[in-house]
Amino acid sequence: MDSEFRIDVLKLVNMGTLASPLWRWRRSGIVDSYTQLDCIVRYNAVGSWVLHMPLNAPQTALLVPGCRVAIWLPDMSLPVLSGPLRTIEREWSEDAPGPGVVRFSGVCDNTILAERLVWPNGDQGLTLGPDAAGYRQPFAYSGNNTLVSMERTLHELPYFNFGPGAYEPRREKGVYHLPPGAWPSPDSQPKTGWKLRFVPLLEALQARVESALDDVDGVIPMGFRWVWDPTIEQIRLQTFNPNQNPAGGVKFSKEIGNLRSYTYSINAPKANYFMMGLRNDDETHPEWQDLWIGDKRSETPEWGTHAEAYLDHTDISFYRRDGDDKIIWPHNPPQPGDKPSPDWDAINMALNSDAKENAATASLSVTPINTVGCRVGRDYWLGDRVHVEIDEEALTEVLREIHLSDGSDGPLIEPTIGTPDATETPAIYTDISRLWQAVTRLQRLQGGRK
């Protein structure tokens, strides 16, 4: 079928030798005989794709286990989405005329992060403990919560968990990693910290990109995705910096004529008063636990809720510790009157991350109309700030999800701002809450005139 989408099928090829392999994802063909395409691209999360084709279409032979697809829109230097094929489903019935249907479905390349754990020592396998006491990793955790550049972290953790710095059996073929010497400076902002042990890599990064801090503890979110780059024929990291355009570069409104429909909703916080369970720093009383209270009720007072939750953070010490996991004192050895410094960076980062998952939420979904002056892919894309005017109110937020479909009714594009999950930001909640109140006031005024 004729469409503005293009679908490349990719095959992993060794362009080197057995001794020195050079793995590349090369085009093996193009699919244009589909009857339906559904593609969901998600900000800082795993997207998905589904392709419906006639069972007898010759191009179905291209889509075999182990292949990848790259889905394109015009005017884009990188694909809308790239990712592996995961399911093949064939369907035929004598009650339905025709050859039958085959459905190919898969995920985006962020799935590499979802399928990897953060090992304490990503570059090593297991070693035998003392006295043959079982196999283990040399260190208990990866990192010690020292603040470092968030963008550098987006390179470093993948590098040591599926890149050239990883234990050899864990390395992903056909992926390009920036070499350590080219990583951003550890001091560049925003910053984050980590102390991780066998947690999913995607989960670890998701929790940090939305709560990365600048030097005055202001939250500066970042975005990322892994996608196939045709110029190098490898999958690589792409980062987003939404704050580079805080005002929003693209506008949607009924008046401009590029907005077909919208829906929006707000929800009360699930929890806003937190008891944090920290590591016990008093070795003389192992039965004790250090605790800290995080009060977030003032962020959404309009709901009037007091919902408590316990946060288990026994991996975080109340006091700052060095690389050997020892409490840092003003003097070594400690002098009378010395007091260690609380590790506020690690505590606040953990609290902000958990609070965000339980915060009041807001969702705004818009269906735009592609016009000559405003086209998806060319003028706005995932991670961009967009401006939406609804009922004389203005909302500006990061574009977090785009649903693209193509079938008998033609192509359809549905962006979502502020999706109902842990990646929501307080800004979109505040704006939509204000809009909600404004509409309520208008309804009251209209009701009073009757």
Residue 47: the pLDDT is 93
CB atoms closer than 10 angstroms to residue 287: 6
CA distance 258 to 343: 49
Who wins on pLDDT, 403 or 260?
A: 403
Q: Which residue carries 């109140």 as its tokens?
A: 437
pLDDT the model gives residue 51: 94
Query: In this structure, what DSSP letter does residue 84 have?
Result: E
| Pairing state between β 223-229 and 36-42 | unpaired
- Give the number of other Cβ atoms within 10 Å of residue 33's Cβ: 13
| pLDDT number for residue 14 | 96
Is the distance from CB of 271 to CB of 293 less than 8 angstroms?
Answer: no
How many CB atoms are closer than 10 A to CB 434? 13
Name the token pair of 324.
């050997």
Q: Between the ranges 32-46, 256-270, 356-370, 416-430, where is the mean pLDDT highest?
A: 32-46
**Does residue 245 lie in a domain region?**
no
Q: Domain of 321?
A: 273-358
Regarding whether 394 and 323 lie in a shared domain, the answer is no
Which DSSP category does 247 fall into?
Answer: T
Where among 108, 130, 154 does a domain terminate? 108
Contacts of 135 (CB under 8 A, 6+ apart): 126, 127, 128, 129
Give the model's confidence band at 11: pLDDT under 50 very low, under 70 low, under 90 confident, else very high: very high
Task: Tell me the CA end-to-end span of the chain in Å, nearest whole number.
Answer: 54
How many distinct structural domains can be found in the chain? Answer: 4
| 204: amino acid identity, one letter | A
Q: Which of 3-7, 31-35, 222-226 is the least confident region? A: 3-7
- Tell me what the mean pLDDT of segment 112-132 comes to: 81
Lowest pLDDT segment from 78-82, 227-231, 241-245, 441-445: 441-445
* 1 found inside a domain: no
User: What per-residue confidence (pLDDT) applies to 419?
Assistant: 38
Global pTM value? 0.75
**Residue pointed to by tokens 């590098």:** 159
Band of pLDDT at residue 125, cut at 50, 70 and 90: confident
pLDDT at 448 over 50: no
Same domain for 204 and 341: no
Note whether 293 and 410 are same-domain residues: no
Q: What is the pLDDT of residues 68-79, one digit of tens each?
A: 999 998 878 899
At 335 the pLDDT is 84
Say how far apart CA 157 and CA 5 lie, in whole Å: 33
Q: Over 50: is that where the pLDDT of 183 sits?
A: yes
